[in-house]
Structure 1
Amino acid sequence: MLKNLLMALFVVMQGAAFAEIAVIVHPSQGAAISQDDISRVFMGRSGDIAGETFIPVNLADSHPAKAHFDQAVLGRSSSQIKAYWSRLVFTGKGTPPKEVGSDSEVLTLVAKNPNIIGYVPLSMVDDSVRVVATF
Structure 2
Amino acid sequence: MKKFITSLLCTLCLISTSALAEVVVVVGASNGNSLSGSDVSRIFLGKLKKFGDGSSVIPVNLASGSDVRAAFEKNALGKSSSQIKAYWSKQVFSGKGKPPKELGSDADVINFVSSNPGAIGYIDAGSVNDSVKVVATF
The alignment's TM-score, normalised by the length of structure 1, stands at 0.86
Aligned ranges 1:1-135 → 2 under 5 Å: 17-50=19-52, 51-135=54-138
Give TM-score, length-normalised by structure 2: 0.84
Aligned-pair CA distance for 1:16: 6.4
Residue type of the partner of 1:38? V
Give the direction of change, closer, same or farther, for the CA distance of 1:15–1:77 in structure 2 (3 Å limit): farther
Between stretches 16-25 and 123-132, larger displacement belongs to 16-25
Q: Is the 8 A contact 1:24 1:133 kept in 2?
A: yes
- Paired with 1:126 and 1:64, the residues of 2 have a C-alpha distance of 20
State the alpha-carbon separation in 1 of the partners of residues 137 and 131 from structure 2: 17
Pairs aligned (count): 123
Q: RMSD of the alignment, in Å? A: 1.5
Secondary structure at the counterpart of residue 52 of structure 1: coil
Structure 1 stretches of at least 4 aligned residues deviating more than 4 Å after TM superposition: 13-16
* Gapped regions of structure 2 (runs ≥ 5): 1-14
| CA distance 1:39–1:15, change in 2 (3 Å) | farther
Counterpart CA distance in 2 for 1:18 and 1:60 is 19
* Structure 2: distance between partners of 1:18 and 1:56: 24
- Contact kept, 8 Å, 1:23 with 1:131, in 2: the verdict is yes
- How far is 1:78 from its partner? 0.7
Tell me by how many angstroms 1:60 deviates. 0.7
Aligned-residue offset at 1:36: 0.8
Which residue identity does 1:67 align to in structure 2?
A
Q: What percentage of aligned pairs have identical amino acids?
A: 50
